[in-house]
């Protein structure tokens, strides 16, 4: 059985670490205590700070004995990330910490594979935890009280955390039962298309659908970089619009980077490139107030992309795809790119779509392996899903 790593800063969280580790051991699981403090701790863990700090590229001296705590914490985060991925006996990781400890421990958790249990008991867990979780599968549990010694409530919280991680570590999740996994991107306005594709492929592939909300695309590409995807059907590339025009669900500048690096089979399309996402109407920047909007729900406001913006999106995507040397097929749905972009629809704009399609066609350098294919269908037409499925199956066999 692999071990549960119990991680914290023993200079301030010694009582909590000892108590938490004892609960997990009482469940019959082997435990390794790791001290990631940058100052001397109150008990001797199995893994001392100096052992972790030695994994820093600059050695332990770059982490320990520093006058500036912020610098030391950042350096320990680097060291712990390198330490934890070098271990071959990690069955789960549970951390306990305040601001510094949470920063250090979640940095290591983010470096671990998806599916390996990761639970962080933190004083920061009830706020915005995006900086700590990013696109990892970290479970954040609020500590409720400050972690400054045990009390009646903290014992309950730590007990619950110990039972949760013990359950996850004792019964590892099953995988995909031998089917290769593929990633697909979807938005509400492209759901019919992606649903139809998954129905056609689910017997042969484990279909992982990602909501194209910025983090969804990043997660999919992280899986590709990790070697966990056999291909990608990237129907919904809308995150690029938010990146370029200030929307709230943006891709990063590395969008499509994993496709270039891994060269896995890739089928893409222009799904939802007719829109930029904002929150409630009052959050839309004043400079955009005269634009064409659609109220998706009370908390989400969509803005139609203009001719000029469609040209910029087409050039950006085309340039990124030109760096992809694997099998690439980019499909153009000539009758519309979203549920709103059809004749009579709220975002129908034949001129903007035509510019988008022409720019993609002019920018993408077509080769025997990289092809742009125009189709006389709407993105949600069954025929488009059939064509996308066929394109993927063709290149997946290469």
- The whole-number mean pLDDT for each consecutive block of 10 residues of the chain, a chain of 398 residues, reads 94 94 98 96 89 98 96 98 98 96 98 95 95 96 91 96 97 73 97 98 97 96 94 98 98 98 98 98 94 95 98 98 98 98 97 98 98 98 98 92
What residue ranges of the chain are covered by domains with CATH 3.40.50.12030? Answer: 181-396
Domain 3-170: CATH superfamily is Uncharacterised protein family UPF0261, NN domain (3.40.50.12020)
pLDDT of residue 261: 98
pLDDT in tens, 185-231: 999 999 999 999 999 999 999 999 999 999 999 999 999 999 999 99
Report yes or no: 16 and 41 within 8 Å, Cβ to Cβ.
Answer: no
| CA 395 – CA 398 distance, rounded (Å) | 5
What per-residue confidence (pLDDT) applies to 295? Answer: 95
DSSP states along 23-37: HHHHTT--EEEEE--
Q: Where do you find CATH 3.40.50.12020 in the chain?
A: 3-170
- Per CATH, the number for 181-396 is 3.40.50.12030
Cβ neighbours of 297 (radius 10 Å): 9
What is the C-alpha to C-alpha distance for residues 316 and 365, in angstroms, rounded to an integer? 13
Query: Distance between CA 10 and CA 61 in Å, rounded?
Result: 19
- 300: Cα within 13 Å, side-chain hemisphere: 11
CB 262 within 8 A of CB 221: no
| pLDDT tens, position by position, 230-240 | 999 999 999 99
Distance between CA atoms of residues 57 and 80, nearest Å: 11
pTM: 0.87
**Cβ-Cβ contacts under 8 Å for 115 (sequence gap 6 or more):** 137, 173, 175
Crossing angle of helices 350-363 and 307-321, rounded to 10°: 30
pLDDT at 175: 60
Residue matched to tokens 């958790």: 109
CA distance 329 to 230: 15
- Rounded to whole angstroms, the Cα distance separating 224 from 122 reads 30
229 within 8 A of 237, measured Cβ to Cβ:
no
Tokens standing for 291?
A: 């634009």
Return the pLDDT at 177: 58
């Amino acid at each position: 059985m692999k071990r549960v790593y119990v991680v914290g800063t023993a200079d301030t969280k010694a009582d909590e670490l000892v108590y938490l580790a004892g609960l997990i051991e009482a469940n019959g699981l082997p435990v390794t205590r790791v001290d990631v403090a940058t100052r001397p701790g109150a008990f001797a863990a199995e893994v001392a700070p100096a052992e972790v700090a030695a994994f820093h590229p600059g050695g332990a001296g770059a982490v320990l004995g520093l006058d500036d705590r912020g610098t030391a914490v950042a350096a320990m985060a680097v060291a712990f990330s390198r330490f934890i991925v070098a271990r071959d006996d990690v069955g789960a990781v549970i951390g306990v910490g305040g601001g510094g400890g949470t920063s250090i421990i979640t940095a290591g958790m983010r470096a671990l594979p998806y599916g390996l249990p990761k639970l962080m008991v933190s004083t920061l867990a009830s706020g915005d935890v995006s900086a700590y979780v990013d696109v990892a599968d970290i479970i954040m549990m609020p500590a409720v009280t400050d972690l400054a010694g045990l009390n009646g409530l903290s014992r309950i919280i730590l007990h619950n955390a110990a039972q949760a991680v013990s359950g996850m570590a004792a019964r590892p999740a099953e995988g995909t039962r031998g089917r290769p996994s593929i990633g697909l991107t979807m938005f509400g306005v492209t759901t019919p298309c992606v649903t139809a594709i998954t129905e056609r492929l689910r017997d042969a592939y484990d279909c992982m659908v990602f909501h194209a909300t910025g983090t969804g695309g990043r997660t999919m590409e992280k899986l590709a970089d990790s070697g966990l995807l056999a291909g990608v059907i990237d129907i919904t590339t809308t995150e690029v619009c938010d990146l370029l025009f200030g929307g709230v669900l943006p891709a990063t500048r590395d969008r499509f980077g994993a496709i270039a690096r891994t060269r896995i089979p890739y089928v893409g399309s222009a799904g939802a490139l007719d829109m930029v996402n904002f929150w409630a109407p009052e959050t839309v920047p004043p400079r955009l107030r005269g634009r064409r909007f659609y109220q998706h729900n009370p908390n989400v406001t969509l803005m139609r992309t203009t001719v000029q913006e469609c040209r910029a999106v087409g050039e950006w995507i085309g340039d990124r795809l030109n760096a992809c040397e694997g099998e690439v097929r980019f499909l153009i749905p000539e009758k519309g790119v979203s549920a709103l972009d059809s004749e009579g629809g709220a975002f129908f704009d034949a001129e903007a779509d035509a510019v988008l399609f022409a720019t993609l066609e002019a920018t993408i350098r077509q080769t025997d392996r990289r092809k742009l294919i125009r189709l006389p269908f709407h993105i949600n037409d069954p025929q488009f899903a059939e064509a996308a499925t066929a394109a993927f199956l063709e290149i997946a066999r290469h």
